[in-house]
Amino acid sequence: QTLKIGMIPADGIGHEVLPAARAVLLALGSSIPKPEFIDLNAGFEYFTRTGTALPEETIRVLTEECNGAMFGAVSSPSRRVAGYSSPIVALRKKLDLYANIRPVASVSGTPGSDVDMVVVRENTECLYIKEETQIMTPNGKEARATRLITERASRRIGKMAFETALSRGKQNPVLTIVHKSNVLSVTDGLFRETVRGVPQLEEVQGRYDGVKIEEQLVDSMVYRMYREPATFDVAVAPNMYGDIISDAAAALVGSLGLVPSVNAGDNFVMGEPVHGSAPDIAGKGIANPIAAIRSASLLLTHLGHLEPAQKINDAVDAVLREGKVLTPDLGGRSRTQEVLDEVLKKM
């Protein structure tokens, strides 16, 4: 038996951190089915060479041949580039990876705030449907974006969030619904109401009755995360708020280079560090590989290989606790490869 994993490094430090994910999966030996990696194209670099950011072949191999995938990061330019559209946003949509699950946890005995939370981000709609228009008016240009919130997507992300809350084995699980329905009462109102209604759905049969529901407006959510980070358990949010609060949460634990995620749907799962392509450090060999390594661990968890996943996490935690071999984002002087070697040694 093998574990076929599609590998999409994409751009920038994606090429530097994804090999680390591969190495830790290989190091698990026979505790998981033998991993077989399939290298796949996507990204802005690929687009500039070929005119396509996400080739059909990549989608085909992922859906027809792979058990799961790992994605590095893309460099989406801030200016509009004709014909280009972010492949990660497209992948999430095409594979219906409707949940982006982002655990942010500090390791006791390391610098930084005490935090142990999971951001569950809706991954398919909100402003990221990218329906934008611009017109010329007598007063100058006018731009608009459409924000889509559906009951269906809010319900399934709500369920995923309640499941996540249960899966952590906490005594008193709490789910915080993040929204701004004091202003956007129609769109965020629908999100809030739908998630709140999930425990009452007939099909869940009281399964979530033990999860306490709280709410937080997105702006004060960021504020509270900085003031009292330890008070959060699981937070669920529409796409854009989820994007923002998970980067904010990453700052609490010291670096974006530490925070993993998986993009999960009902049929497929793809690990992906939360960070982007980091053009400021790309090519220097100093990117922190831990977010990618932890993403590989999360991928295994979602594929049902809990113990090997834990083994990776324990090794990473040990390296962080020792604090001797760290990349510059954490104040160290070590290189990507040295951190990987240290994790492998601990494993």
The one among 288, 295, 313, 334 contacting ligand NAI by CB under 6 A: 288
Binding-site size, Mg ion (CB under 5 A): 1
Residue 243 interacts with, from ligand NAI, Mg ion, none (CB under 5-8 Å by kind): Mg ion
**279 makes contact with ligand NAI (CB under 6 A):** yes
Residue 58 interacts with, from ligand NAI, Mg ion, none (CB under 5-8 Å by kind): none
Q: Has 39 been annotated as catalytic?
A: no
> From CA 163, how far away is CA 64, in angstroms rounded?
27
Contacts of 312 (CB under 8 A, 6+ apart): 24, 28, 293, 294, 296, 297, 300, 343, 347
Question: Residue 183: is it exposed, middle or buried by C-beta count within 10 angstroms (0-12/13-18/19+)?
Answer: exposed
> From CA 224, how far away is CA 208, in angstroms rounded?
25
The one among 122, 243, 272, 342 contacting Mg ion by CB under 5 A: 243
| DSSP designation for 317 | H
> From CA 36, how far away is CA 50, in angstroms rounded?
27
Q: Has 128 been annotated as catalytic?
A: yes
> From CA 275, how far away is CA 103, in angstroms rounded?
13
Length of the chain: 347
Binding-site size, ligand NAI (CB under 6 A): 21
Question: Residue 68: is it exposed, middle or buried by C-beta count within 10 angstroms (0-12/13-18/19+)?
Answer: buried
Please say which residue, 43 or 308, places its beta carbon nearer to ligand NAI: 43
**Segment interacting with Mg ion, rule: CB under 5 A, options 104-112, 119-127, 242-250, 328-336:** 242-250
**285 makes contact with ligand NAI (CB under 6 A):** no
**249 makes contact with ligand NAI (CB under 6 A):** no
Please say which residue, 100 or 194, places its beta carbon nearer to Mg ion: 100
Closest residue to Mg ion, judged by C-beta, is 243
**SS3 at position 38:** strand
Q: Has 180 been annotated as catalytic?
A: yes
Q: Exactly one of 114, 219, 266, 314 is catalytic; which is it?
A: 219
Q: Has 311 been annotated as catalytic?
A: no
**Segment interacting with ligand NAI, rule: CB under 6 A, options 69-77, 103-111, 125-133, 200-208:** 69-77
The one among 159, 275, 305, 311 contacting ligand NAI by CB under 6 A: 275
**15 makes contact with ligand NAI (CB under 6 A):** no
Amino acid at 237: A
Q: Has 11 been annotated as catalytic?
A: no
Q: Tell how strand 269-271 and strand 262-264 pair up.
A: antiparallel
Q: Exactly one of 46, 98, 128, 208 is catalytic; which is it?
A: 128
**SS3 at position 344:** helix
Question: Residue 175: is it exposed, middle or buried by C-beta count within 10 angstroms (0-12/13-18/19+)?
Answer: buried
Q: Which residues bind Mg ion (CB under 5 A)?
A: 243
Task: Give catalytic residue positions.
Answer: 128, 180, 219, 243, 247
Binding site for ligand NAI (CB under 6 A): 13, 17, 73-76, 88, 256-257, 275-281, 287-288, 291, 327, 329
